[in-house]
Amino acid sequence: MINLLKNILKTTTTTDQKTDSKNLELLCGLMIEAAYTDGNIDETELNKIKESLVNTFNEDLNEVNDVLDQAINNKDNSKSLHSYTSFINKNFTNEKKLYLIQTLWEIVLSDGKLDDFESNLIRRLAGLLYISDVDSGNARKRALNKK
């Protein structure tokens, strides 16, 4: 199952470093945005982000650490949700988008607290990614079951 998810989430060509780099920057930025929505990023959330990027999105740990550090340093200058979702809608399949929503749920739930701002952010992202409330709710249930 995990290999299937890795194949689904991997970009269409592994030789296109610019696209891979853009995907990693976008994913890190979006994940940091979700984790920081409650005003705090804790170690549990950071570990969940790293684990997701390395194990599920098949990214290199050293690259993840570098890009994640940049995303944390730039968290106060984050992009608009539209810039994230526009790129995702153009480059991700519906399956990728569903798994991304599940991953975001896992990140915001990883610290054991769910802030209203966090759930609101994911609901807005789901809408911008054309994911139904039912599918987002199912992704949340799967995230809860992984805990």
pLDDT digits (tens, 9 = 90+) for 87-141: 899 988 999 999 999 999 999 999 888 889 999 999 999 999 999 999 999 999 9
CA distances from 122 to 1, 23, 40, 72 (A): 24, 19, 16, 19
Give the CATH number, domain containing residue 31: 1.10.3680.10
pLDDT tens for residues 30-72? 999 899 988 889 899 999 999 999 988 888 999 999 999 998 8
| CA distances in angstroms from 48 to 14, 98, 142, listed in the order given | 24, 17, 15
Number of domains in the chain: 1
Tokens of 79: 């992009």
Give me the domain span that covers residue 138: 2-146
How many whole angstroms from its chain centre is CA 61? 16
Please tell me the pTM assigned to this model.
0.81
Helices (H), 11-132: 17-36, 43-51, 61-73, 81-91, 94-109, 116-128
Let me know: does 109 contact 68? Beta carbons within 8 Å: no
